[in-house]
Structure 1
Amino acid sequence: MRYRGMKAGAIVVAAVTGSVVLSGCGDGDGSQAKRDGASPSASSSADTREQGTTEVRAAYDKTAEAESARMTIKMNLAAEGETVTSDGKGVLDLEEGDSVMTLTVQDQTIEQRVVDQVLYQKVPGQKAPGGKPWIKIDLEKVAAQQGLGNQQFGDPAQTAGYAKAITDKDVTKVGTEEIDGANTTHYKVSVDVSKLPGGEQLSKQVGPTLPMQIWLDDEGRLRRQQIEMSVKAPVSASAKPDSSASPQQLKMSTVMEFSDFGTEVNAEAPPAGQVADMTDQALQGSLQQS
């Protein structure tokens, strides 16, 4: 199996960007959801909008209180006339960010784990360099090189910083919908990317605002999150200084769904002797398995 440059870069960018977005849904108490210049005579529609903002900003913390959940993810990445599709299912530790999943990428099955912000992948029957069955990518190093800072993705303690990026004018209630037997409220949300940690660099990749849709259940927890955006992947680190290479433009569509809150999660790193570190190759856009 070979991940060509577009695929490797896209998957890494998606992993980092997706984690940032997931972490940015709440601040716990919604105390910053007050509208500037609000008065006692504000209209009921404005009050409803503010209530929706409060619920959206509190969503991640309320979801994290469940500690864990089953998750499915569907992703489409398109660039340079090529489309990569993937479907995944597994379990996620909502407090630590660890996960165990099985992915199907272009009809290829991949076993995946995320442990302590390190991504591990194994393709059954195939080997990484050195004959190792597993590869790993350090997501913190990827984030640092892409200018997103050395942050602990999914850490509830950092969600207040993300919540500042959402104001009442950025939240619109769409309606209600049933998802997997649960009643949900559907919202459209616009995130001010510049206010996210590492926002200056992130805005160069995804633009000034990040539109997304979320569905919250009756307990205020995330049941579905949908993101569609264009991402400028960084130029390969191996490109020559005088190279005319420009960032790849990736179109990314991601839908994540959560269910079975409180399910057991056993995420463990593979034995070190079975793992090939491919972080540098992934950043250079040359990740491959033989």
Structure 2
Amino acid sequence: MKTAKTAAGIAAALIVAAGASGCSIGSSVGKQAADSAQTLVATLTKASDEASKAGSAEVKMTVTMPENGGKPVQMNGVYSWGNGLAMEAEMPAKDLEMEDLVADGTITYRLVQGAYYYGIDPAPDGPFKGKSWLKLDASAVLGEKGAAAMNSGNNDPTAGLKSLKWASDVTKVGTEDVNGKKSVHYHATVPTSKMGDAAATFGAVAGSGVTELVADIWVDEKGMPSRLNQTFGGSTINVDFLSFGVAKDIAAPPAADTADITDMVKNGGAAKG
């Protein structure tokens, strides 16, 4: 088994996941319309409140990052934030260069309590012998501060709307169809210096040289976010919210079936022992 290649692919997946959760905090921050500032803040704050109350959402996501060679990585699954941030999604193994770990070409990915899990086919030998899940702590890529920010109570894919007051260059783009939903499109720029606790996670993903986040959000006729697009530096995250209030218990896999690869990733892909 190519452990170095495996570690690289897993690290890329972690960065993708961090961008989806941590940066969506700041990106939702920047959505506004063409009316008065107070009206815009009230409209989008309500959208944030209603979405947050839902506690979960089915999402379709595409992430492009320089760290992964600019190759788009796709995830389709469920976010849950009612009892801590969690996610379960399906990802094409080829997007992560992890084809040698699964026979069907798909990686099942989970985020639970600050750790990332990747479902694999049990290996007959090697460092992952008999294991069907790989575990990676968020701190391995995000650092301790970044991981703590990602696990904060305000870190879900909708919470950033509450920070709308920090957005600049705000415009209402117009009305568009998003997955069959009539939605109003808003555009804004958010200074990273105004992102609060999300800045640590954002910095781990985007790098220290990025000073702003360009964000677009679409809000449907029910006042719920239907799409969220974010650009920061050379990275982009596009999220479609397909439905809200999806009841799903996302649990960590059994410890006996899991191989912890955190140290391997921290060591640049070198497995110990």
TM-score, normalised via structure 2 length: 0.74
Residue 23 of structure 2 is matched in structure 1 by: 21
Residue 213 of structure 1 aligns with an amino acid whose one-letter code is D
Aligned residue pair count: 250
- Partner amino acid, structure 1, of 2:213: L
2:73 aligned partner, one-letter code: S
Q: Which residue of 2 aligns with 1:129?
A: 127
Tell me how far apart the structure 2 counterparts of residues 157 and 85 of structure 1 sit (CA, whole Å).
Answer: 24
Residue 151 of structure 1 is matched in structure 2 by 149
**RMSD of aligned alpha carbons:** 3.5
Partner secondary structure for residue 63 of structure 1 = helix
Residue matched to 2:179: 180
The residue aligned with 1:277 is 260
Q: Secondary structure at the match of 2:244?
A: coil
Larger Rg: 1
Q: Measure, in 2, the Cα distance between the counterparts of 1:84 and 1:189.
A: 26
Q: Secondary structure at the match of 1:265?
A: coil
Query: Which deviations, in whole Å up to 9, do the C-alpha atoms of 1:17-68 show, x marking residues without a partner?
Result: 32112234679xxxxx9xxxxxxxxxx96x4344224433454332111122
C-alpha contact (below 8 Å) 1:25/1:57 kept by paired residues:
no
Q: Does 1:113 align with 2:116?
A: no
| Alpha-carbon distance between aligned partners in 1 of 2:143 and 2:60, rounded to the nearest angstrom | 27
C-alpha separation in 2, matches of 1:287 and 1:60: 43
- 1:219, 1:252 → 2: CA distance? 30
User: Sequence identity of aligned pairs in percent?
Assistant: 24
* Counterpart-to-counterpart distance in 2, 1:70 and 1:262: 8
What is the alpha-carbon distance in structure 1 between the residues aligned to residue 209 and residue 60 of structure 2?
Answer: 23
User: More relative contact order in 1 or in 2 (CA 8 Å, sep 6+)?
Assistant: 2
Deviation at 1:279, TM superposition (A): 2.1
What is the CA deviation profile of residues 64-101 of structure 1, one whole-angstrom value per residue up to 9, with x for unaligned ones? 11122211111223358x34332221122143321221
AA of the residue aligned to 2:63 = M
Residue in 2 aligned with 1:84?
A: 71
Q: Secondary structure at the match of 2:146?
A: coil
Displacement of 1:152 after TM fit? 4.9
Listed as ranges, the matches of 1:1-290 within 5 Å are: 2=2, 3=5, 7-24=9-26, 47-79=35-67, 82-95=69-82, 96-106=84-94, 108-124=105-121, 129-131=127-129, 132-139=131-138, 142-145=141-144, 147-148=145-146, 150-153=148-151, 155-156=153-154, 163-164=162-163, 166-167=165-166, 169-196=168-195, 197=197, 199=199, 202=203, 204-205=207-208, 207-230=210-233, 251-286=234-269
- Is there any run of 5+ residues in structure 1 with no aligned partner, and where? 28-32, 34-43, 231-250
Aligned twin of 1:245: none
CA distance 1:114–1:148, shift in 2 (3 Å): closer
- Aligned position for 2:100: none
